[in-house]
Structure 1
């Protein structure tokens, strides 16, 4: 049977965070119930399509999956097990936000087969959590953590964000150490990106790149009272007292220092960086995410979810109303369908695989495409190695420390 990963999207949350551009938003209980019904219908529609596949990982993300009731989660997982062949040892993850977790919910997750929980902390500083627009404080995170551990879940990830407005290397180190001392099996650590369509973009806008490089001081001299016209999105995220200046983004040098500090500090606690933004204790790497970087086949279920099946990428409709009322074969609601060429697949092999610290294999490239990697990418490989951005051995190609810092530039060299 062919290996398959499943991603299940829950597009609901209590409140949108200031930095979030994911397909998610608040919804009442009636809409959430309709969505679960539609999700179960979609799952059932795949029964015959994937009869010759075995599921090795399931990842329930969002949004905030932990917003769903115990019964709703159990309905979703019952449908998954009824319509897919799920490996006995499958890695099954659910994302959870502090403030939405109860002991009853955790018991339901375990009964449904969940064996890994990913908790969105982001910062151990309450003022930084308020700036990000999170719905919880650090104490609520600790309550959630204690419930997860108390329920016997021994594979957990914690998400963190650095380069938050007003953050310093010292405050970031405090967050890192507080989190590492809890000894989660895995940590996902991301630098804040200012995305269009978010409250943070309204606050920092196109000047964010200038600010990162230290050239945007004038652009951020606005005070809180001058930002009143930003409306609810601003008021519900972070509203400093009148006259108090909006915190500036850390500059590029500070952001780089935070990234370098992360690897050094987490190494002290027994974590290894196995991907640009992910750290794990030995044997606790996220199998589901590694599947993405290794281009394993995966099926995305739910609103806007993306898939890669054989050499085809496609995603579900982004229209919630249409999704809730949808009937008929699942393929009727696929959008952005793309048949990948061999060149497309070679590109993805390189820029996705190079995200991992182990890099990519020349022999695997030859096995998949029937042509040596050097014959296809000899020039960029030589150039990147000469510039100290890639380390090349007999069979492996991987990023150097310098290459990691400008990884997007390196990845671009492998696009045709």
Structure 2
């Protein structure tokens, strides 16, 4: 029986962060109970379609799932346990904002079967946290990690951002030295991207914030990689690092183009040879489901050439790269037969390497991954 991964979107948060362009909004005045009931309705419609699939991983993201009362998270998961095949369920992750975490919530998450948590720290510097518009401070991060350990969690991720306004290499070094003291199992360390519809973008255009230049940003990235590898973290994806055995199973399914379903506002799915996505309008979401219709805003068919391209591009994000054998087993074709021109070009220019089993990005290729990826598009 084939397996699939499930993403559940909780769009509510305490306050919109200044750099955030995710589908999220402050929960004050929102009918959370109604949203959860419609989420379950959406899951009920998909139940039959996925009756021959086993659930492999669940990821509850947002927004800030920890901002809502824990009973809603319990309600969703209990519904899934009763209506989907969870006999092979390996991982359930929930995203937490340190400013919204309590002892009761941590214990409730653990008791309902959540076995992985992702803490949205973003920075370990109080001034940077204020600048980002985060509602928490460094003490909240410490307290959250303490509460999670007390509740019995042994698989914790912390999200961090580098390339922040006025950030220096010394700041990054300080953050790294602090984070490894917590001995957490997984670190996601992303480069700041200024998105169009954000306050950060407005400030950047007006010259109110100053970002590290490209050379310094790349220097920071390689410093992070080298530091975490020296401290026993496995660098397994461009922005992700884990202790041995603690790679994120949900994200690995996504990167390996395995079937996944997204439910909730503006969630995306890739199943049954199609990519489809939900409306980002809350009223439209309710209107669709009130008529027993899925809230799908758009879809596209993924033909074989597009599937091969996506598999290759996502595979190159992984430090192990693309397994030539796995590519051949999946598509019944040699990868060189499909992409010889692109592969030869980027091996020659030093962005790709072939170690006989895998095609991987070089250190230089990690910096210029977009140049490689575009040549794998159909």
CA shift in 2, pair 1:167/1:97, >3 Å? same
Contact 1:272 1:282 in 2 (8 A): yes
Task: Judge which range, 266-275 or 93-102, deviates more.
Answer: 266-275
In the TM superposition, residue 197 of structure 1 has moved relative to its aligned partner by: 0.4
Where does residue 327 of structure 1 map in the other structure?
290
1:182-201 to structure 2, matched below 5 A, reads 182-201=182-201
Match of 1:55, SS? strand
Q: Highest CA radius of gyration, 1 or 2? A: 1
**Under a length normalisation based on structure 1, what TM-score does the superposition of the two structures give?**
0.88
Q: Structure 1 CA distance, aligned partners of 2:34 and 2:153?
A: 30
In the TM superposition, residue 408 of structure 1 has moved relative to its aligned partner by: 1.0
Q: Structure 2 CA distance, aligned partners of 1:176 and 1:5?
A: 31
Q: Structure 1 CA distance, aligned partners of 2:369 and 2:181?
A: 30
Where does residue 383 of structure 1 map in the other structure?
345
* 2:354 equivalent to 1:398: no
1:6-45 to structure 2, matched below 5 A, reads 6-28=6-28, 30-45=30-45
* 2:355 equivalent to 1:407: no
Q: Structure 1 CA distance, aligned partners of 2:191 and 2:335?
A: 31
RMSD: 1.3
Q: Structure 2 CA distance, aligned partners of 1:396 and 1:20?
A: 36
In the TM superposition, residue 368 of structure 1 has moved relative to its aligned partner by: 2.1
**Under a length normalisation based on structure 2, what TM-score does the superposition of the two structures give?**
0.97
Where does residue 116 of structure 2 map in the other structure?
116
1:232-271 to structure 2, matched below 5 A, reads 246-271=208-233
1:219-238 to structure 2, matched below 5 A, reads 220=207
Match of 1:357, SS? coil
Q: Specify every segment of 5 or more residues in structure 2 that has no aligned partner in the other structure, as ranges.
A: none
Q: Specify every segment of 5 or more residues in structure 1 that has no aligned partner in the other structure, as ranges.
A: 206-218, 221-245
Runs of 4+ more than 6 Å apart:
none
Q: How many residues align?
A: 377
Q: Structure 2 CA distance, aligned partners of 1:122 and 1:71?
A: 27
Contact 1:46 1:330 in 2 (8 A): no
The counterpart of 1:352, out of the listed 314, 322, 328, is 314
Contact 2:110 2:152 in 1 (8 A): no
User: Deviations along 1:173-213, whole A, 9 cap, x unmatched?
Assistant: 111110111011000000000000000010113xxxxxxxx
In the TM superposition, residue 89 of structure 1 has moved relative to its aligned partner by: 4.8
Where does residue 370 of structure 1 map in the other structure?
332
